[in-house]
Amino acid sequence: MSRGDASGGPVDPATPLVGLSTRERVRWTPSELYSEQVPSRLRKRLLWWTPAWLSALAALFLSLLGIEAISTTRPESAAKQLTFLFIGLAAAAVVATPSYRFYRRIIIGLGILVLGLLVFVLLPFVPESIVRPRNGSRSWIALGPMDFQPSELAKTVYILALAVWLSQTQVHRTILGYIAVVGLTLIPIGLIVLEPDLGSALLFLPTMAAMVIAAGSRKRHVIASVVLAAALVPIAYGFVLKPYQRARIDAIIAQISGDTRFEKREGFQGWRAMRLVGSGGVLGVGKQHAGALVTFNGLPEEHNDMIFAVVCCRWGLAGGTVLWGAYLVFAVGGLATAALCRDPFGRLAAVGIVAISFTQMTINTGMTIGLLPITGITLPFVSYGGSSLLATWLNVGLLVNIGLRRPKPDERSYLDD
């Protein structure tokens, strides 16, 4: 296509020309707009609109909603969460600054670092002043004013590592290559299960499935792995899960069937959460009444894992629906960013970020309303916790980074074939 002139040369109306003068609009053709022929002043002005901003705005809304929900019963924790949010925003800005391709070059170092941290928290001779057990789980490293959870960082690094692997080869489309991907995924899962932190470990396989499907793996391989995993569930229940984990599964089955045997024991948290969700009605009961209800019912971890119950109690079904809608906006923005990215690494990383965030939201809200067993997993952006909030905003920074970078000239992905 030849260059247009000021009299009205050929210009593709789909080309993003927002912010350019009329002369600039007709001077550069669509293919040239992505090339180095265009002055950097114009190319930089073309970078700023991206669907990733939808995800960022949704994440900000969810973070502020979480701070307000936490303040229902713990105003001092809400103030800390606001500080964590500023740290998360700063971290996201830092992550978004260099091209996301930079992280592809350092992924081996990041992987070694994360694996080292996951092993470190398991070492029995590390004093509790450094690795602080919580609820029987060695998942946290003390860092002065806040504790750091390596498994949160492991989620992001895993997404990047798998995106690098899947973008550099198509071997995952074979059965042996697919098994190799599963083997890579089982490494962080195994280390996290040993902490034990079953909730975080559950997030890796659905994320892997979404990414390998986006990368073009054979659907029959994915279906076969799902069937195999389902067949192994009884074995895991009998020989892998700890007694308290089996009790949680028994409690949710009893809860769904209307059996109240576990209401005062293993099912206490789930039953209390469901009652608080129902007490909110359609529009909620307000801050003071919700705070009194949550306190009176003695809901454990109401500011953390069970924060969705507080949201529904205070703002009702309407509040819960708005929260789900915000996650939908986050997912739409992330998937649109992936669709517009022609670099396989960037596209797959965006898919992974959306998959792990949406999976975590589904598990957390599902256990709160009595559809899934309690697993001790946070609600992304909303639950209290510095590590969780920082990790989720790192993902937002990566997503915006991917959206801001235009494809290189003549760049084409095998994923488009």
- Pair 69, 382: CB distance under 8 Å: yes
pLDDT of residue 305 exceeding 80, the answer is: yes
Compute the average pLDDT of residues 113-133: 90
Given this model, what pLDDT does residue 76 score? 95
What does the CA dihedral 240, 378, 254, 205 come to, rounded to 10 degrees? -40
Q: What is the mean pLDDT of residues 309-327?
A: 97
Residue scoring higher pLDDT (63 or 169): 63
Question: Where in the chain are the domains?
Answer: 51-416
Q: State the average pLDDT over residues 48-57.
A: 92
Both tokens of 41, joined, read: 């002043």
Q: What's the whole-number mean pLDDT along residues 192-219?
A: 91
User: Is this model's pTM higher than 0.75 or not?
Assistant: yes
Task: Annotate 32-92 with DSSP letters as a single string.
Answer: HHTSTTS-HHHHHHTSS--THHHHHHHHHHHHHHHHHHHTTT-HHHHHHHHHHHHHHHHHH
Question: How close are the terminal C-alpha atoms of the chain, in Å?
Answer: 24
- What pLDDT is stored for residue 412 in this prediction? 53
Whether residue 415 has pLDDT greater than 50: yes
